[in-house]
Amino acid sequence: MSAGRQAYNRGMFDAVLRFLADEVNAFMLRRTGDSEQVRMVPSRLVNEQGNPVVADGSLAISLFQIEEERALREPLPERVVQQGRELQRPPPLRLNLLVVVAARVAAYDVALARLALAVRCFHAKPVHTPADSPGLPPGLASQHFHDGVQVGSVLRVKAPAGQFFIDPEDDTPAVLIAGGIGITPLLCMLKTCLLRKPQRALHLFYGVRNGSEQAFRPALQQLAAQHPALRLTVAYSRPAEHERQGRDYQHRGHLDVALLQRSLGAGRHLYYLCGPPAMMQSLVPALLASGVPQQDLHYEAFGPATVPAAAVTAASASASTRSEPLELRFQLSGRTLLWDGRDASLLDFAERQGVALESACRSGGCGTCETRVLQGEVVYAQRPMHEIAPGHCLLCVGRPATALVLEA
């Protein structure tokens, strides 16, 4: 390797070590609040003679080894076209840098405490992302709890709320439909029903790609074996080669209405669904189209609401349906528009008209879209989960009852 290349690599790795040191120092400062505490610095640990060179009272980080990340290595070179010629680039080489963190402090317990704090910083930083989405950033919530919350922090919490729950005393047969980790709330519903009314007919449909993604497998199998009233149907959309239908899963493919209709008997059923967007966007409208009454269909989507509104309830429709359009003014945006009743919510209406507004859950739960009502009245099909401040409204689930002037 040339001297220039070696110097370039040394500079690159030094920059990485400085970045890591800055991250650890910021983490320790947030944790301790002590700006005078020993800080980490990039440093060699020993000299050519093998003697320690870490300064007294300091915390140091040094590069120990470099290894290739073979699990992420692309198998084939990349084909590119430059100036009309097809070229092949070697597959990208991903490296793991193995570092050593050392403390040189007189008091042994103090050194261990500072090393432990530095290690906690690395534990708090997620380093693995899905193979198909390597650019995903660290989770905001987990990062906040790791970095910002400590002993003595005051957190604002509220009691559980929402409309996605099951009545364990009802005798009506229940159909629980889960996709991926959507099994989590449905498993709680299932256990509650089996405890309170074990004779109630229960159907659990659980869809995943294959066995590697199936959660609670032993628990579900045990519940199904112990309770004759429970019928468990597991669907794999992409089973692995070693997985067999009838042994590892009962249905190959996605969960759909045809499967439900083949599996369920005649009569009324109550439906409870929780899963990823694709499943919810297909199943909820399909169940309604198949004749399931809206009051018998209960669901909760992952993250932002992804289920299109199937119908506007009578309460909101009667309040907002008028022979003439309603004038809506968004004061900060400087827009005056006419509401014609086509949209399910004020947020949908604003976005269709190009008014930029902040939003998140789109189901009345988080309060991100809360906006002051300067004039007029907003109504809701059902009471929002978020506690709305006086004189404000939630755009994501609200509809106008009169002409409005909104601060947004």
Alpha helix segments (H runs only) across 90-139? 108-124
- β-sheet bridge partners, residue 297: 271
Q: Which has more pLDDT, 72 or 351?
A: 351
Q: Examine the domain organization and report whether 107 and 178 are in the same domain.
A: no
**Token pair for residue 381?**
């099909």
Domain assignment present for 85: no
pTM of the predicted structure, to 2 decimals = 0.56
Q: Which has more pLDDT, 244 or 45?
A: 244
Q: Examine the domain organization and report whether 228 and 265 are in the same domain.
A: yes
Distance between CA atoms of residues 217 and 248, nearest Å: 10
User: Looking at residues 201-217, what average pLDDT do you find?
Assistant: 94
- β-sheet bridge partners, residue 201: none
Domain assignment present for 309: no
Domain assignment present for 365: yes
Q: Examine the domain organization and report whether 201 and 138 are in the same domain.
A: no
In the predicted model, is pLDDT for residue 189 greater than 50? Answer: yes
Among 121, 139, 119, residue whose Cα is nearest residue 129: 139
Q: Which has more pLDDT, 154 or 263?
A: 263
Q: Examine the domain organization and report whether 383 and 254 are in the same domain.
A: no
Look up the CATH number of the domain holding residue 361: 3.10.20.30
In the predicted model, is pLDDT for residue 107 greater than 70? Answer: yes
In the predicted model, is pLDDT for residue 355 greater than 70? Answer: yes
In the predicted model, is pLDDT for residue 175 greater than 90? Answer: yes
Q: What is the pLDDT of residues 368-393, one digit of tens each?
A: 899 999 999 999 987 888 889 999 99
Domain assignment present for 81: no
Q: Which has more pLDDT, 148 or 391?
A: 391
Among 59, 63, 58, residue whose Cα is nearest residue 99: 63
Query: In the prediction, which pLDDT does 139 show?
Result: 61
Q: Quote the domain boundaries for residue 267.
A: 174-301
At residue 59 the predicted structure's pLDDT band, cuts being 50, 70 and 90, is confident
In what side-by-side order are the strands of the sheet with 297-301?
251-252, 230-236, 202-208, 174-179, 270-275, 297-301
At residue 314 the predicted structure's pLDDT band, cuts being 50, 70 and 90, is very low
CB 274 within 8 A of CB 178: yes
At residue 358 the predicted structure's pLDDT band, cuts being 50, 70 and 90, is confident
At residue 100 the predicted structure's pLDDT band, cuts being 50, 70 and 90, is confident
Domain assignment present for 385: yes
At residue 303 the predicted structure's pLDDT band, cuts being 50, 70 and 90, is low
User: Looking at residues 158-171, what average pLDDT do you find?
Assistant: 84
Q: Examine the domain organization and report whether 237 and 275 are in the same domain.
A: yes
Q: Examine the domain organization and report whether 290 and 336 are in the same domain.
A: no
Q: Which has more pLDDT, 66 or 221?
A: 221
Q: Which has more pLDDT, 45 or 75?
A: 45
Q: Examine the domain organization and report whether 233 and 125 are in the same domain.
A: no
Query: In the prediction, which pLDDT does 317 show?
Result: 45
* Number of domains forming the structure of the chain: 3
Q: Examine the domain organization and report whether 387 and 336 are in the same domain.
A: yes
Distance between CA atoms of residues 217 and 125, nearest Å: 30
Percent of the chain with pLDDT over 90: 43
Query: In the prediction, which pLDDT does 376 show?
Result: 96
**Token pair for residue 148?**
């910002």
Q: Examine the domain organization and report whether 242 and 331 are in the same domain.
A: no
In the predicted model, is pLDDT for residue 198 greater than 50? Answer: yes
User: Looking at residues 109-132, what average pLDDT do you find?
Assistant: 68
Q: Which has more pLDDT, 68 or 322?
A: 68
Q: Examine the domain organization and report whether 130 and 207 are in the same domain.
A: no
User: Contacts for 349-358 with beta carbons within 8 Å, 24 or more apart?
Assistant: 350/395, 350/408, 355/330, 355/408, 357/395, 357/408
Percent of the chain with pLDDT over 70: 79
Query: In the prediction, which pLDDT does 73 show?
Result: 55
Query: In the prediction, which pLDDT does 307 show?
Result: 62
CB 368 within 8 A of CB 292: no
In the predicted model, is pLDDT for residue 99 greater than 70? Answer: yes
Domain assignment present for 343: yes
User: Looking at residues 350-367, what average pLDDT do you find?
Assistant: 86
Q: Is 283 left (phi over 0), alpha (psi -120 to 50) or beta?
A: alpha
Q: Examine the domain organization and report whether 109 and 15 are in the same domain.
A: yes
Domain assignment present for 158: no
Q: Examine the domain organization and report whether 218 and 293 are in the same domain.
A: yes
Lowest average pLDDT, out of 76-90, 225-239, 355-369, goes to 76-90
Domain boundary residue among 272, 301, 330? 301
Domain boundary residue among 250, 270, 301? 301
Look up the CATH number of the domain holding residue 235: 3.40.50.80
At residue 326 the predicted structure's pLDDT band, cuts being 50, 70 and 90, is very high
Q: Which has more pLDDT, 203 or 14?
A: 203
- Mean of the per-residue pLDDT values of the chain: 82
Lowest average pLDDT, out of 22-26, 127-131, 172-176, 214-218, goes to 127-131
Query: In the prediction, which pLDDT does 138 show?
Result: 58
Q: Which has more pLDDT, 93 or 290?
A: 290
Q: What is the pLDDT of residues 81-92, one digit of tens each?
A: 666 677 776 766
In the predicted model, is pLDDT for residue 129 greater than 60? Answer: no
Domain assignment present for 387: yes
